[in-house]
Amino acid sequence: MEYGCTDADSTDGEEDMEPMIVGKNTYLAKLKDRVKVDHKIKEDPSCKHEKKLNSALDRMKKKKKKEAQSTEGKEEMIIVRSDLDRYKTEGAIAPQVRGQLKEHKQSKPLREIADNSKSPGHELAKDLNKVFEPYTGKTRTAVRGGKHLIDMIREGRFNKNFLASCDAEALYPSVIVEEGLELLEEKIKKDKSFAKRTDLTKAEVMELTRLCTEKPYFECELGFFTQSKGTHMGGPLSRLLADLIIENKIEKQIMQHPRWKKCWDWVRLIDDTLSGWESEEIFDEFFEFLNTLHPGIKWTCEKEKEGRLPIFDIQLIRQDNEIMTTVYRKSSASDRYIHYTSWQPWKEKAGAIRTLKNRAHTYCSDEYLLAEELSYLLGVFLKNGDPEKVVYRIVYKEVKTTKQQQQGDKAMDSANVFYEPYHSRAKRLYNILLEQFGITTIFKKTAASGNLIKRKGRQKEKQFTASTVYKVPCKECDKAYIGQSKNTIAKRVGQHKALCRRNVKLSKLKNSKKDNGIAFHHIKMGHEFDFDNTEIIARETN
């Protein structure tokens, strides 16, 4: 945990760009206040959760289908019965929760940041989420992001006298999981295309979903906790359950109300909404009604002030009877990007400039607002050390050519990719690889000072790490065995130990195509290996 880190390493956006520092005691006090509604436990519950989930996956894989199901002419399945082993975990840990203070808000509440990636069922939940993708986001109120919202605004959908934004307060902790699962089960039962996405039965999929969402728990600096309510923080299925409840329990009631169905029109991304109204008084009445629709989910609102309203990263500006748009930044925005002197490829630094330039062209509704935003970006990147001439050229003069568009659209051949840590003096070699041999260089991440300074959350224990190159030293001589395995270190070491105990004949070990170097050395020399000090030399992340 990096104590003192605020929202996006936030600053007030001034020229000094110095980060605000929050003391450890202040942070822990906020965190303690956050977890007081949850229940502290002594042990990590992920071990029992993992066993229960693995057992269900084993049982479902062994279950024989009554009839072989043909997949010809159907979409590629997302979850396949024969491939369920890939969702099993070993040595998984509880979701790791930390926080950052929202400096742009007056009360400076704690923003929860959860890492579920090493918890039981995380990969399974991600694929289940893909299976359930058709169940939400298909209504008129759904918005995909900033660009989609800009298109709606320019079509005149929100040309009303008054604009307002509603935001659900602590949405995920407020979700009633069982309520969301009941709605999900109804959707699954009515789904006629379900078999195209998985060959598991609907009952089996619901069982796995319940296992992935039951009894949410997490670990933070204060210990292990089970959540008193709500969905898994950072869980892949949390948004799905929240969307199901809002669409079917809240929006549906509004659409059926005799008064509000005629004048209500909002768009929503998760829990952020934008709506247009004939007057502020009508919105106030609606807002009061909105907070009566669900016992767990309560809403806050932000109203148009002096003709302005921020939503997502868009600033809405009322001019006469028209809604203008430009880029919005919170007061805590740091405007920090990769510094020009940083040991990173230039294309990554230039990519940040081009991305923000493209956003400006998409969001800004007239030439004046665009010129203002581009001028701001020029100043930002000059503060980040970039040469003025280069930034000016990219921001004001560069136009994406047809050749660049074709290169961007062209699929990359994974067989012709070279992974290499970036080095500025090797640029010519990278160009030769591309031009003469058609090999694209992808730069790997290297250790940065931030990796050394920041305190990381709890990691998986070494013996549960899979897909590694490992080294096992001999206890009685200076030799060591180096091998590679897709299995976990614990499983591979167990295989080595078992082979050593069997006392197989040397001739069989010598002539075998299998990797039996440790057993061969043990039986021939009588030496023992130091399995407890097995070292991981390299890891394969993909």
Give counts: helices (H), strands (E), the chain: 20, 17
Closest CA to 340 of 283, 388, 292: 388
Range of the domain at 426: 405-451
In a 13 Å sphere around the CA of 252, the CA atoms on its Cβ side amount to 9
* Long-range contacts, 412-418 (Cβ 8 Å, 24+): 412/440, 416/440, 417/441, 417/442, 418/442
Closest CA to 50 of 84, 92, 86, 79: 92
Identify the weakest region by mean pLDDT among 142-146, 237-241, 432-436.
Answer: 432-436
Q: Whose structure tokens read 């009894």? A: 215
* pLDDT grade for 19, boundaries at 50, 70 and 90: very low
Closest CA to 250 of 219, 208, 295: 295
Q: In this structure, are 82 and 107 located in the same domain?
A: yes
Q: In this structure, are 422 and 518 located in the same domain?
A: no
Q: Which two tokens stand for residue 477?
A: 């001589």
* Residue where a domain terminates, one of 451, 485, 510: 451
pLDDT at residue 4, as a whole number? 39
Q: Answer yes or no: are the C-beta atoms of 131 and 197 closer than 8 Å.
A: yes
pLDDT at residue 324, as a whole number? 93
Dihedral of alpha carbons 349, 350, 351, 353, sign: positive
Per-position DSSP letters for 314-381, written without gaps between them: EEEEEETTEEEEEE---TT-------TTSSS-HHHHHHHHHHHHHHHHHH--SHHHHHHHHHHHHHHH
Amino acid at 150: I
* Residue where a domain terminates, one of 451, 483, 507: 451
Q: In this structure, are 436 and 477 located in the same domain?
A: no
**Overall average pLDDT of the 492-515 stretch:** 72
Q: Answer yes or no: are the C-beta atoms of 460 and 507 closer than 8 Å.
A: no
What total of structural domains would you count in the chain?
Answer: 3
Q: In this structure, are 417 and 294 located in the same domain?
A: no
pLDDT at residue 67, as a whole number? 43
Instruction: Answer yes or no: is pLDDT of 208 > 50.
Output: yes
Q: In this structure, are 434 and 467 located in the same domain?
A: no
Q: In this structure, are 172 and 228 located in the same domain?
A: yes
Of all residues in the chain, the percent with pLDDT exceeding 90 is: 43
* pLDDT grade for 190, boundaries at 50, 70 and 90: very high
Distance between CA atoms of 380 and 390, rounded to whole angstroms? Answer: 13
Q: Quick check: is 175 in a domain?
A: yes
Instruction: Answer yes or no: is pLDDT of 182 > 50.
Output: yes
Q: Answer yes or no: are the C-beta atoms of 458 and 496 closer than 8 Å.
A: no
Closest CA to 320 of 165, 436, 159, 451: 159
Distance between CA atoms of 462 and 490, rounded to whole angstroms? Answer: 8
Out of 328-332, 384-388, 451-455, 464-468, the most confident range is 384-388
Q: Answer yes or no: are the C-beta atoms of 7 and 101 closer than 8 Å.
A: yes
Amino acid at 484: Q
pLDDT tens, position by position, 271-283: 899 999 999 999 9
Bridge partners of 100, per DSSP, are 111
pLDDT at residue 459, as a whole number? 65
Q: Answer yes or no: are the C-beta atoms of 76 and 86 closer than 8 Å.
A: no
Residue 358 or residue 23, greater confidence: 358
Out of 317-321, 348-352, 517-521, the most confident range is 348-352
Q: In this structure, are 487 and 531 located in the same domain?
A: yes
Q: Which three-class secondary structure state does DSSP give residue 445?
A: coil
Instruction: Answer yes or no: is pLDDT of 510 > 80.
Output: no
Q: In this structure, are 57 and 96 located in the same domain?
A: yes
Distance between CA atoms of 220 and 201, rounded to whole angstroms? Answer: 37
Within 10 Å of residue 271's Cβ, how many Cβ atoms? Answer: 20
Q: Answer yes or no: are the C-beta atoms of 13 and 331 closer than 8 Å.
A: yes
Backbone angles phi, psi at 145, to 5 degrees: 165, -170
Q: Quick check: is 466 in a domain?
A: yes
Q: Quick check: is 384 in a domain?
A: no
Q: Quick check: is 209 in a domain?
A: yes
* pLDDT grade for 456, boundaries at 50, 70 and 90: low
Per-position DSSP letters for 11-26, written without gaps between them: --S-TT-PPP---HHH
Out of 30-34, 35-39, 247-251, the most confident range is 247-251
Burial of 218 (0-12, 13-18, 19+ CB in 10 A): buried
Distance between CA atoms of 221 and 403, rounded to whole angstroms? Answer: 51
Average pLDDT, the chain: 83
Instruction: Answer yes or no: is pLDDT of 169 > 60.
Output: yes
Per-position DSSP letters for 85-102, written without gaps between them: GGG--SS--PPEEEEEE-
Distance between CA atoms of 171 and 155, rounded to whole angstroms? Answer: 30
pLDDT tens, position by position, 223-263: 999 988 888 877 899 999 999 999 999 999 999 999 998 89
Listed in sequence order, the residues at least 6 apart from 506 whose beta carbon sits closer than 8 Å to its beta carbon are 520, 523, 524
Identify the weakest region by mean pLDDT among 342-356, 383-397, 439-453.
Answer: 439-453
Backbone angles phi, psi at 83, to 5 degrees: -110, 20
Q: In this structure, are 415 and 500 located in the same domain?
A: no
Closest CA to 216 of 179, 184, 173: 173
Q: Answer yes or no: are the C-beta atoms of 472 and 527 closer than 8 Å.
A: no
Q: Quick check: is 220 in a domain?
A: yes
Q: Which two tokens stand for residue 510?
A: 């010598």
pLDDT at residue 71, as a whole number? 46
Q: Quick check: is 317 in a domain?
A: no
pLDDT at residue 75, as a whole number? 53
pLDDT tens, position by position, 58-102: 999 988 654 445 445 445 889 999 899 999 988 888 898 887 776
Instruction: Answer yes or no: is pLDDT of 434 > 70.
Output: yes
**Overall average pLDDT of the 355-361 stretch:** 95
Q: Which two tokens stand for residue 447?
A: 């250790």
Closest CA to 312 of 276, 367, 271, 262: 271
**Overall average pLDDT of the 360-375 stretch:** 94
- Beta strands, E only, 59-183: 96-101, 110-115, 162-168
**Overall average pLDDT of the 467-473 stretch:** 88
Q: In this structure, are 169 and 58 located in the same domain?
A: yes
Q: Quick check: is 130 in a domain?
A: yes
Burial 143-174 (b: 16+ CB within 10 A, else e): beebeebbeebeeebbebebbbbbebeebbbb
Name the packing angle between helices 122-131 and 202-213 (round to 10°).
Answer: 130
Q: Quick check: is 359 in a domain?
A: no
Q: Answer yes or no: are the C-beta atoms of 265 and 257 closer than 8 Å.
A: no
Q: Whose structure tokens read 């900033």? A: 146
Q: In this structure, are 74 and 167 located in the same domain?
A: yes
Instruction: Answer yes or no: is pLDDT of 9 > 60.
Output: no
Q: In this structure, are 129 and 199 located in the same domain?
A: yes
Bridge partners of 275, per DSSP, are 164, 266
Q: Are strands 217-220 and 272-277 parallel, antiparallel or unpaired?
A: unpaired
* pLDDT grade for 506, boundaries at 50, 70 and 90: low
Within 10 Å of residue 178's Cβ, how many Cβ atoms? Answer: 12
